[in-house]
Amino acid sequence: MMPYRLYNRVGSGGFVVEAALAMAEADFELEELDSRPSTPLPESFRHHNPWRQVPTLILPDGSTMSETAAILIHLAACHPDKPLGPSPGTAAHAQFLRWMVFANVNVYEAILRRPYTERYTTDPNGLEAVREASTLRQGEALAILAAAIDPGPFLLGADMTVLDVYVAMLFTWYNGDTSFPGLDALKAGVKDNDTVGPIWRRHFGDR
């Protein structure tokens, strides 16, 4: 079996997949693409991902996986002895799935409406309105996640999972003016993690 192979670029959403692989202590190769986040990947990348998006993960059997939340759920299931997520079938795992999908559908999708605004309207005069709506949507969704941190400091309690790493990444991209102390504490815990912290700093610096 070959190692995992992760296609990514610095500062992109693939950060959390790289962090998950490190948390799993998995054998993986990192292919960092020489391009900035929010810019199109070359046409040749369709060979790996028809949407030309990262993260794209090649699994040990040679098959390809995309979609960040799906990759995280898969890795947690493949490495049950590592601290990626709760055991399937438990009440905690139900919440893990709930908030993972919620964050992906409501926060990540809203974030994408700013750098890729043209995907969300055919009206060239409506681009700024889409951007403004995206910030409002991010804030609304983050407020729901913040309210779910009880007792904390992480979404599922005392132990950090890849869900928290994902939410911390999404939160650091929020450009609204609403404060979320619970999410600040969650992000601080992610950044202080011995395994994830160095990867965070390489992708996001001190953000």
**Rounded-to-integer distance, Cα 6 and Cα 195, Å:** 18
**Rounded-to-integer distance, Cα 193 and Cα 195, Å:** 6
21 burial via Cβ count (<10 Å: 0-12, 13-18, 19+): buried
Mean pLDDT per segment of 10 residues, for the chain of length 207 residues? 93 96 98 82 90 95 97 98 97 98 96 91 95 96 98 97 98 96 98 98 96
Among 78, 101, 134, identify where a domain stops. 78
pLDDT at residue 42, rounded to an integer: 85
Residue 54 sits in the same domain as residue 112: no
DSSP, res 173: T
pLDDT at residue 96, rounded to an integer: 98
Question: Is 206 inside any structural domain?
Answer: no
CATH number at residue 16: 3.40.30.10
SS3 of residue 31 by DSSP: strand
CATH number at residue 177: 1.20.1050.10
Domain assignment of residue 176, given as a range: 91-200
Question: Is 84 inside any structural domain?
Answer: no
pTM, rounded to two decimals: 0.95
pLDDT at residue 75, rounded to an integer: 98
Number of domains comprising the chain: 2
